[in-house]
Chains A and B, each alone.
Chain A
Amino acid sequence: MKLLTLNFLTCAIKTCKTSPSSFPLHPQDSELEIVEADINVLFLRNMLPRLMWNELRLIVNELGLPSLPETAPDASSLLETKLQVPEGDTTGLNIEKIEVPSQVAKDLHRVLLETCIREGKLVCGNCGHEYKVMEGVANFLLPGHLV
């Protein structure tokens, strides 16, 4: 499960829905893995306004990963311009400007889309319910009396 997903997941138990402490769920005994994926700046830009940045920082700390900056990056910082020689041009006289993902974008991509919880559990801060994660799949089936 990507850390991106954890930034949107809440406790499934009805009485927790209204309690602020049911989000984010806290990973415990987790085994992390990096799953490489193609960077998609348009997707990152789409998600930025929807992220709960403080909660993302909290989870990153709980997992013992390097801390994130205090404030979320600005959408405009996701791309940077690079100068390069046009492909196939050997004259050495031409130069073109292209937009490429910035380091900020690459870091964000790494945290949100490539850092995954493989094994462990997610614990609700309100009711204490534990959701098991196995092979990256979280079990959100609730026993009937908790629905």
Chain B
Amino acid sequence: MSRPENTLPPDLFYNDTEALKYTTSSRIQKIQSSMTHRALQLLQLKSPSLLLDIGCGSGLSGEILSAPSSAGTPGGPHIWIGLDISSSMLGIALEKEVEGDLFLADAGQGVPFRAGTFDAAISISAIQWLCNAESSSESASGRLSRFFNGLYASLRRGGRAVCQFYPKNDTQKTMVSSAAVRAGFGAGLLEDDPGTKNAKTYLVLTVGGGELDGDITGVVRGMEGVDVMDQRRKVKGRKRGEEIQGSKKWIIRKKEQMERKGKVVKANSKYTGRKRRIAF
């Protein structure tokens, strides 16, 4: 299947015709609904919460967020606020009279809510669009960092976000998840049906503080099948025998890394990584 992200910017791609086609396709409804339920399962909401839906589109996820727990929405009904860059998609959400508040907004410009607003955030099939710079004056990495920084600040301490997205390739997957880590999130990647054409990638994000105080990646790490991305883990939870920064093992590995990048490094010797005696 071709990637719409390669054809047009999102607000032009999701025009009236495409928005209607998208929302009324029973195949799409079914897939988006199952991914929303998966994301909710990962969010583990216990009671009615205030949620942000990034790239909410016509509100296919929103309708599920508004449903009571008796209808299968954990902790529901929730109150949600949706952002989307396509007025046609939002127009359909209005026609459907979804319960959430809607904003015409570009997530790549940030998240205009005060600190600690949301209990959690959800995004289904949207954030890969952030990797396309809309105009020449912008870079994809600038858009990603504005988005994740804004999202991080707008979530309450101990809050979570789950973003299902369609990375173009591994480079893009890494670019997105490392932007989240740089914004301060504890991050993990979860793949459902990896290697098949139905593969789904979920970026699971946690904010430190609150109930999670101390170890911000603890929750993500405890989840089955989630690959923790956070770099800090190595430093924090180092086991005996693992390499220490500045040790011989570490220096050798760094040298190998630099050599691979084509840099000239000094040959290893028996003195490599030894403590230098203080000379008087």
Is there contact, CB below 8 Å, between A136 and B101?
Answer: yes
Q: Does B229 contact A (CB under 8 A)?
A: no
Q: Whole-angstrom distance between the alpha carbons of A4 and B106 in the complex?
A: 22
Which interface residue of B50, B113, B114 has the most chain A CB atoms within 10 A? Answer: B114
Segment 113-147 of A: residues with Cβ below 8 Å from B:
113, 135-142, 144, 147
Is there contact, CB below 8 Å, between B109 and A4?
Answer: no
Q: Contact check: which of A2, A14, A40 meets B77 at CB < 8 Å?
A: A40
Is there contact, CB below 8 Å, between B156 and A50?
Answer: yes
Q: Does B227 contact A (CB under 8 A)?
A: no
Which interface residue of B117, B137, B138, B156 has the most chain A CB atoms within 10 A? Answer: B117
**A4-B79, A137-B102, A144-B135 are known contacts. Are A46 and B50 too (CB-CB below 8 A)?**
yes
Is there contact, CB below 8 Å, between B135 and A1?
Answer: no
Is there contact, CB below 8 Å, between A140 and B103?
Answer: yes
Is there contact, CB below 8 Å, between A1 and B48?
Answer: no
Q: Whole-angstrom distance between the alpha carbons of A52 and B117 in the complex?
A: 11
Q: Does A91 contact B (CB under 8 A)?
A: no
Q: Does B4 contact A (CB under 8 A)?
A: no
| B210 neighbours in A (Cβ, 8 Å) | none
Cβ distance B9 to chain A, nearest Cβ, rounded Å: 12
| A4 neighbours in B (Cβ, 8 Å) | 79
Q: Contact check: which of B49, B104, B137, B146 meets A141 at CB < 8 Å?
A: B104
Cβ distance A58 to chain B, nearest Cβ, rounded Å: 15
| A11 neighbours in B (Cβ, 8 Å) | 112
Is there contact, CB below 8 Å, between B116 and A12?
Answer: no
**A43-B48, A43-B79 are known contacts. Are A137 and B103 too (CB-CB below 8 A)?**
yes
Cβ distance A146 to chain B, nearest Cβ, rounded Å: 9
Is there contact, CB below 8 Å, between B110 and A113?
Answer: no
Is there contact, CB below 8 Å, between A141 and B106?
Answer: yes
**A1-B101, A113-B79, A137-B102 are known contacts. Are A8 and B109 too (CB-CB below 8 A)?**
no
Which interface residue of A23, A38, A140, A142 has the most chain B CB atoms within 10 A? Answer: A140
Is there contact, CB below 8 Å, between A142 and B109?
Answer: yes
Q: Whole-angstrom distance between the alpha carbons of A119 and B60 in the complex?
A: 25
| A2 neighbours in B (Cβ, 8 Å) | 101
Q: Does B99 contact A (CB under 8 A)?
A: yes
Q: Whole-angstrom distance between the alpha carbons of A136 and B81 in the complex?
A: 12
| B156 neighbours in A (Cβ, 8 Å) | 50
Q: Whole-angstrom distance between the alpha carbons of A134 and B136 in the complex?
A: 30
| B47 neighbours in A (Cβ, 8 Å) | 42-43, 46
Q: Does A34 contact B (CB under 8 A)?
A: no
Q: Contact check: which of B77, B78, B109, B113 meets A10 at CB < 8 Å?
A: B113
Q: Does A95 contact B (CB under 8 A)?
A: no
Segment 155-180 of B: residues with Cβ below 8 Å from A:
156
| A139 neighbours in B (Cβ, 8 Å) | 103-105
Q: Does B207 contact A (CB under 8 A)?
A: no
Segment 60-86 of B: residues with Cβ below 8 Å from A:
77-79, 81, 83, 85
Q: Which residue of A lies closest to B146 (CB)?
A: A147
Q: Contact check: which of B50, B94, B101, B146 meets A47 at CB < 8 Å?
A: B50
A-B contact pairs, 27 of them (CB 8 A): A8-B113, A10-B112, A10-B113, A11-B112, A12-B105, A12-B110, A14-B110, A23-B114, A37-B99, A42-B47, A46-B48, A46-B49, A52-B114, A135-B94, A136-B94, A137-B90, A138-B103, A139-B103, A139-B105, A140-B104, A141-B85, A141-B106, A141-B109, A142-B109, A144-B135, A147-B109, A147-B138
Interface residues of B (CB under 8 A from A): 47-50, 77-79, 81, 83, 85, 90, 94, 99, 101-106, 109-110, 112-114, 116-117, 119, 135, 137-138, 146, 156
Interface residues of A (CB under 8 A from B): 1-2, 4-5, 8-12, 14, 23, 37-38, 40, 42-43, 46-47, 50, 52, 113, 135-142, 144, 147
The 8 A-B residue pairs whose C-beta atoms are closest, nearest first, are A43-B48, A140-B105, A12-B112, A8-B117, A139-B104, A137-B102, A5-B101, A42-B48
